[in-house]
Structure 1
Amino acid sequence: MSAPNDLSELADLCGIWHDYHGLHGNLKQTSSDTQKAFLTAIGIDVSDDSAIRASLATLRHEIDDRWFPEEIIVQSGMASPQEFGLGANWQLRLDGSDDVIAQGQPDDHITLPPLASGVYALTATASGRTEIITVLAAPKHLPSLKTLTGTSKLWGLNLALYGLQSNRNTGLGDFEDLAQAAEIAGAQGAGFIGINPLHTMGHCDVDAISPYSPSHRGFLNTEYIALDRIPGLKTAQDLSNFGDIKLATSVQYQAHKAAHHRSLNASYQRYVDAAPKPAKSDFATFKTKGGSDLQDFARFEALSEIHGTQWHDWPTDPDAPPADRIDFHMWLQWVAAVQLADAQARSKAAGMPLGLYLDLAVGSRRDGAESWCEQAAVAQGVSIGAPPDHLSPEGQNWNLTAFAPRKLKALRYRPLRAILAQTIRHAGIIRIDHVLGLNRSYWIPDDGSPGGYIRQPFESLIAIIKIEAERFNCAVVGEDLGLVPDGFRDTMRDHGFYGYSVLQYEKDDQGAFQKPDDIPAQVLSCFATHDTPTLRGYETGRDIYWWEKLAWIDEHAADSLRQERAAEVDAFRGDTDFKSHIHCLLAQSNASLVAVQLDDILGVEDAQNLPGTIEQHPNWQRKYDILLENLSADGQLRATAQLMNDAGRRNADKG
């Protein structure tokens, strides 16, 4: 076989797409350079023609030589007869455990007993040969709203945690603010409270501010630690050095981080010196449960203090950082976890059936802790992105770390399981950003080769999500905006995912918003996201203003768009205001879950983020103009809550 054919077959065996349809429907071929870059990224040697032939032969042998499958997915709670056996003795263990939970004698077929949801290793031995099969035992469906709460519809409040202002915080919204906001929203009848991702941004990284470009998705952003609520410390740290930071009209990330770190270091020393035994015991338990993952992460953070945030530039074998700094970074994670768990408990106590609605980002920064801690699982030399589309004709390079499917599978998905658990354990509902990435990922090579798609182990990743969601009793929303393959949404609904319906994107052929009855039931419906115009911004054409200001469109195009927008808004608003009409539509819709943005309730005009900008737009920096302490008495919040609650009662009466 020729070298090009060898490369093509090798790419096919590794899930690399040979082509895909581009922006204008034209077929885009995946180049040989791209195939080589992807294969190198997942650990396959394609350095020359002979290496390609050898790699292909090795992979063929691995596939053809197996007697048993590498992986099977079974439904938990049910006995599972398999098509294989070959007279093998077999034993089943929970992944990571040495305890045998089931075993069998030689037979033509293996029948697994009913299993609790989880990931298992099945060891089968026949004719002196032993193979290990990964068993994913998952529930048939994700937890549903009805199962979790006993109701078929809930509304909730979405807000930017960093933007909350309160008399007690330090210039950045924190976990105590989150708990208090949840209590306020719960008292108004909200069923959940949604916020931006809480993944760590990196203790030493002073420039990263986008919550969707974190350092590690498996650990928490300790900048949200409330300094006056640290477990084990009865008296609060002096916060006088935050005065100017609190008074600023936008979040001062760098200044806040420096002052916050000084206070955290002082609090840690006070904890070490004087914390009571129960607090120290709780921290010790947290460290034990965190295991090597927590140790590795804390070591990364401590090394960053010595060598800087660009770990690719670190010494090959850096010296061990001081033990007390490793302990400090583990302590920060413990404090953050305690405060976030408290926020969830108080959300539930305030009457919220679901409580916290948390966000899982697509990936982590390539120079962050996740890419360092999980080097055995990540793809090298590529970034996650998106091909050219109508919103981004040049395509998008998100500069995010990608998991390599073959590597992740070999590790029985442990890194992903840990990341999922970190978000799900504190939430009643989570949103998985860009859920299509479970099916396929668009990778962009560092060497300048064109981007392309690589297939992901879709059914296995779905099973992992179902396992973790069941473990923590959590509903799951899959962000499925834009174009997706035929049948994808139906498949996701069958597994129990809630879709993500953004009203301003969903119009009929005449440009009119969907009617309440046209919005499907198994979705979370909202008007806007952090990346789109707010309700007020949409009404006034604030997005069009920014496009023109940044020269993305010319004056003529801007005027035309403004006229179209004004006509659209006027036609829809009827006899009342645009905001009330939109909220009525959402409230009366079939959607099981409805999210109302605090930005929209307060009439905020600018979006939290303008995609495609960094410094040109105040992304992730805007503070709310109202103190948290005054929010419960705000007439706009009370009116919106009343509207949502009335609609909910009408729906209940119909049922």
Structure 2
Amino acid sequence: MSQNRESRERLERPLIRLAKAVGVATSYVGMSNDYHEIADDVLVAVLAALGIDASNDMAISTSLKNLLDERHRRLTPPTVLHIEGAESKVPVHVGVFDIPQATITLEDGSEYTGVLEPDAGDGSMAYWMDDAFVTTASIVIPRDLPIGYHTLHVTVGDRTEDATLISAPKRIELIDAMKDHRLWGWMAQIYSIRSHESWGVGDFVDLGTMLTDAKAKTGADFMLINPVHAGEPVTPLTPSPYLPISRTFLNFTYIRPEAIEEYNLLGEESRTRVAQLHDSVRPLNENADHIDRDAMWAAKMQALWLIFKVGRSPERQAQFDAYKRAHGEGLEAYATWCLAYDKWGAPTASPSSWFRTTDRNSQPVQDLRNRYPDTLDFYRWMEWIASEQLADAQNAARKAGMALGVMADMAVGVHPLGADVWWNPDRYAKGATVGAPPDMFNQQGQDWSQPPLSPISLEKTGYEAYREMVHGMFAQAGAVRIDHILGLFRLWWIPAGMGAKNGTYVTYDSAVMLGILALEAARAHGVVVGEDLGVVPEYVASSLASHGVLGCAVEWFEQMDGAFRDPRKWREMALASVDVHDMPPCAGYLQYEHVKVRAELGLLEGPVEEFQASAEREQKAMLRMLVNGGWVSGECVNDVPGHIREIVEGMYRAMTASPCKLLAAAIVDGVGEVRTQNQPGTNNEYPNWRVPLADGEGNPVPVEGLFDREGMQSLARVLNA
């Protein structure tokens, strides 16, 4: 087509109308401004994943009518958004002569005493259903309604229906420390940074040490860490922190056993056993080649069981009981899934797997819980301990004077065989996964294997799953980074078996989801950063900015037509960094580590010489920008290998010239590491998420003295200038 839009004839087709009615895109414009119309079989499959039958003409007609009837049969949408300080109208479906009435129960259980005025409407949008016309009136929500998750009760005649009423701030306001200033911090893959007391993998106690040292020795105000969402209970453990079992709970493998209060109750024999277990994996701390999570957990889990079995004081037991009550069904979901995994083995996609043959109400599941009550409580207990130790790290950061402390990272989705999906399958689409359409970097598209949250379920449940997740993220953090924040607007759904190229976008109610972010951030006095790299539609960028969500600016990505943008022209509302975990650190990038790795792994579509030439052009363009800005000297251009440190620091000086409100320095850049943490397009071909922190000579770098190292101090001086 010559125009980037669908024809009138296509738009009038019932399948297209049905898809659009539920937010399924029937066309899209790609990264290169290339226009695509979605094939019918893809639309049918995506609609099926939403629980909508479009398998033939009759089914399409019936589904469209049922959809419209259901929307008009409800008095009001199941979830409605109100913006604090503004008057809003909630649509209500009524008979032609009906006038709606409403009351509000506030989040704390009290009744809202303000006046809710009805607006009868003019009947211009009447819909014929059940032998009568249905028209749209409204209820006016006053501007003084406080923020919170309230319940709206709407009455028309003898009918009353409830809706979740989310009252949110208009935007996320900058914290005081950022209003007239900017903050900087470090980026860390915490599992990769071990202390002498670690169990082979960095843990929450190591994080606390790094936070306090980073503030005391470099003046940093935050530390952006990898996602620490919940994982498997037993080995083998999934290395990727971006494929969690649950996004609501924490990865308890980060616990430090000796830091648990009940460790002090152990008898001599048990203490000796814990020490033996620790000693068995202590040498892993010196391994600069790879992280061995499985060996760590095989030892640490035995130590944790000993500490769990020693019991708790009445006061501590009361705290544990309060934690269990506060986290209710969600905790039961994860703990029960862990117990099933532990006793029945890893879940699989096989029809005979317990993941497929049972659910939370199955008798075998109840029998399992009854048979192993201690083990079930052990998994609850580890979550409690993990939340305590992460909170201790955050409290230590704040006590040290950090303005934000932990910046938590929220993954875009969950494992398809994880606890969240097993316990609440209705929250997720069935028969589809999330990914990305083809682009110049991934010509076949990307399939991330994660099932998407259903926008229909989100609306019907008052966005409960998303609310719980965001609230949990802010529980032990001063800021939250959201991976692929475009997913709050739309996600690329891929029907099972069709391949990543054959998908389409499904839209979400971004206003509601951003409203929830604003509400939770306001309550936590926190900051939200959205990973918005790549092609971002104008309406998305505008919405994020208006809601006070900071974007991301990565120096290596800030280029166009072969030239790098002057950092002084970057946007203010962003978290700036030089690099990211999906590429080598600066020292490695400057030495073409990315070319070497991709060539060795067979990830190049063309000749290696062609990719090398492209990388060299990119590096020259970067150096040109740095020299023109006065951030490096001209002699660096002629001898890059001899001036790696000067160039790296020049890149950071350029970044500090930007107006960005947050600046992030990578610890790997401070110590001279050259290896990438994650190589996209690979699994076990490359040790993704298993690369320990090392210096440029390959020596392991421990937590002790990390921020005293000259490279770290030098980089900190650049950021503090």
Equivalent runs, 1:333-348 vs 2, <5 Å: 333-348=383-398
Shift in Å at residue 461 of structure 1? 1.0
C-alpha change, 1:600 and 1:104, in structure 2 (3 Å) is same
Q: Which residue of 2 aligns with 1:300?
A: 337
CA distances 1:552-590 after superposition (whole Å, capped 9, x unpaired): 142321442354245345543425620111111122221
Partner SS state of residue 248, structure 2? strand
Is 1:584 aligned to 2:660, yes or no? Answer: no
Q: Which residue of 2 aligns with 1:268?
A: 308
Q: Which residue of 2 aligns with 1:157?
A: 186
Partner SS state of residue 124, structure 1? strand
Conserved? CA contact 2:80–2:90, under 8 Å: no
Report the Cα distance in structure 1 between the residues aligned to 2:13 and 2:86, rounded to whole angstroms.
44
Partner SS state of residue 82, structure 2? strand
Q: Match of 1:170, as an amino acid?
A: W
Q: Match of 2:462, as an amino acid?
A: R
Shift in Å at residue 530 of structure 1? 0.7
Equivalent runs, 1:216-365 vs 2, <5 Å: 216-234=246-264, 237-238=274-275, 239-249=278-288, 250-270=290-310, 272=311, 275-310=312-347, 313-314=353-354, 315-316=357-358, 317=362, 318-320=364-366, 321=368, 322-365=372-415
Report the Cα distance in structure 2 between the residues aligned to 1:178 and 1:343, rounded to whole angstroms.
6
Q: Match of 1:57, as an amino acid?
A: K
Q: Match of 1:338, as an amino acid?
A: E
Conserved? CA contact 1:539–1:569, under 8 Å: no
Is 1:405 aligned to 2:455, yes or no? Answer: yes
Report the Cα distance in structure 1 between the residues aligned to 2:348 and 2:379, rounded to whole angstroms.
17
CA distances 1:45-74 after superposition (whole Å, capped 9, x unpaired): 345544333222211112234444444322
Conserved? CA contact 2:531–2:551, under 8 Å: yes
Report the Cα distance in structure 1 between the residues aligned to 2:104 and 2:40, rounded to whole angstroms.
42
Conserved? CA contact 2:251–2:386, under 8 Å: yes
Q: Which residue of 1 aligns with 2:473?
A: 423
Q: Which residue of 2 aligns with 1:523?
A: 574
- Specify which of 627, 633, 639 is matched with residue 574 of structure 1: 633
Report the Cα distance in structure 2 between the residues aligned to 1:255 and 1:548, rounded to whole angstroms.
31
Between Structure 1 and Structure 2, how many residues are aligned? Answer: 640
Q: Which residue of 2 aligns with 1:532?
A: 583
Shift in Å at residue 133 of structure 1? 3.3
Report the Cα distance in structure 1 between the residues aligned to 2:12 and 2:169, rounded to whole angstroms.
43
1-10 or 546-555: which moved more? 1-10
Is 1:168 aligned to 2:183, yes or no? Answer: no
Partner SS state of residue 532, structure 2? coil
Is 1:115 aligned to 2:145, yes or no? Answer: yes
Q: Which residue of 2 aligns with 1:652?
A: none
Report the Cα distance in structure 2 between the residues aligned to 1:453 and 1:425, rounded to whole angstroms.
32
342-351 or 368-377: which moved more? 368-377
Is 1:142 aligned to 2:172, yes or no? Answer: yes
CA distances 1:583-629 after superposition (whole Å, capped 9, x unpaired): 11122221110000000111111111111111222211111221211
Report the Cα distance in structure 1 between the residues aligned to 2:35 and 2:622, rounded to whole angstroms.
38
Which ranges of structure 2 fall in alignment gaps of 5 or more residues?
A: 1-8, 120-137, 627-631, 637-645, 694-699
Is 1:382 aligned to 2:419, yes or no? Answer: no
CA distances 1:313-351 after superposition (whole Å, capped 9, x unpaired): 113333322222221111011000000001001111112
C-alpha change, 1:137 and 1:566, in structure 2 (3 Å) is closer
Q: Match of 1:88, as an amino acid?
A: P
C-alpha change, 1:392 and 1:339, in structure 2 (3 Å) is same
Conserved? CA contact 1:382–1:401, under 8 Å: yes
Q: Match of 2:262, as an amino acid?
A: G
Q: Which residue of 2 aligns with 1:487?
A: 539
C-alpha change, 1:277 and 1:640, in structure 2 (3 Å) is same
CA distances 1:267-315 after superposition (whole Å, capped 9, x unpaired): 2112x2xx22222111111011011111122111111112223165113
Partner SS state of residue 306, structure 2? helix
- Specify which of 601, 610, 624 is matched with residue 557 of structure 1: 610
Partner SS state of residue 632, structure 1? helix
C-alpha change, 1:567 and 1:93, in structure 2 (3 Å) is same
Q: Which residue of 1 aligns with 2:692?
A: 623
Report the Cα distance in structure 1 between the residues aligned to 2:544 and 2:616, rounded to whole angstroms.
38
Tell me how large the CA RMSD over aligned residues is: 2.4
C-alpha change, 1:29 and 1:80, in structure 2 (3 Å) is closer
Q: Which residue of 1 aligns with 2:129?
A: none
Q: Which residue of 2 aligns with 1:87?
A: 99
23-32 or 83-92: which moved more? 83-92
C-alpha change, 1:566 and 1:464, in structure 2 (3 Å) is closer
C-alpha change, 1:562 and 1:311, in structure 2 (3 Å) is closer
Report the Cα distance in structure 1 between the residues aligned to 2:10 and 2:482, rounded to whole angstroms.
42
Report the Cα distance in structure 2 between the residues aligned to 1:282 and 1:175, rounded to whole angstroms.
20
Report the Cα distance in structure 1 between the residues aligned to 2:263 and 2:48, rounded to whole angstroms.
51
Partner SS state of residue 213, structure 1? coil
Shift in Å at residue 94 of structure 1? 4.0
Q: Which residue of 1 aligns with 2:530?
A: 478
Q: Match of 1:284, as an amino acid?
A: D
Shift in Å at residue 167 of structure 1? 1.0
Report the Cα distance in structure 2 between the residues aligned to 1:88 and 1:558, rounded to whole angstroms.
66
Conserved? CA contact 1:158–1:195, under 8 Å: yes
Q: Match of 1:584, as an amino acid?
A: R
Is 1:641 aligned to 2:641, yes or no? Answer: no
CA distances 1:326-377 after superposition (whole Å, capped 9, x unpaired): 2111101100000000100111111211111110000011111121122121
Report the Cα distance in structure 2 between the residues aligned to 1:79 and 1:46, rounded to whole angstroms.
39
CA distances 1:113-156 after superposition (whole Å, capped 9, x unpaired): 422222222111122222333322110111314x3655520110
Conserved? CA contact 2:81–2:512, under 8 Å: yes
Conserved? CA contact 1:214–1:368, under 8 Å: yes
Report the Cα distance in structure 1 between the residues aligned to 2:207 and 2:391, rounded to whole angstroms.
11
CA distances 1:396-443 after superposition (whole Å, capped 9, x unpaired): 000012101011110000011111111122111111111111111101
Report the Cα distance in structure 2 between the residues aligned to 1:83 and 1:365, rounded to whole angstroms.
37
Relative to the length of structure 2, the TM-score reads: 0.84
Shift in Å at residue 12 of structure 1? 1.5
Q: Which residue of 2 aligns with 1:196?
A: 226
Identity across matched positions, percent: 28
Q: Which residue of 2 aligns with 1:457?
A: 509
Report the Cα distance in structure 1 between the residues aligned to 2:79 and 2:39, rounded to whole angstroms.
31
Report the Cα distance in structure 2 between the residues aligned to 1:414 and 1:645, rounded to whole angstroms.
42
- Specify which of 603, 606, 614 is matched with residue 675 of structure 2: 606
- Specify which of 234, 239, 250 is matched with residue 209 of structure 1: 239
Q: Which residue of 1 aligns with 2:555?
A: 503
Shift in Å at residue 79 of structure 1? 5.5
Relative to the length of structure 1, the TM-score reads: 0.92
Partner SS state of residue 385, structure 1? strand
Q: Which residue of 1 aligns with 2:67?
A: 59
Conserved? CA contact 2:230–2:252, under 8 Å: yes
Conserved? CA contact 1:387–1:396, under 8 Å: yes
Conserved? CA contact 1:142–1:466, under 8 Å: yes
Shift in Å at residue 3 of structure 1? 14
Conserved? CA contact 2:116–2:140, under 8 Å: no
Conserved? CA contact 2:146–2:167, under 8 Å: yes
Report the Cα distance in structure 1 between the residues aligned to 2:664 and 2:326, rounded to whole angstroms.
34
Conserved? CA contact 1:311–1:372, under 8 Å: no
Q: Match of 2:324, as an amino acid?
A: K
Partner SS state of residue 366, structure 1? coil
Shift in Å at residue 508 of structure 1? 4.8
Report the Cα distance in structure 1 between the residues aligned to 2:170 and 2:540, rounded to whole angstroms.
17
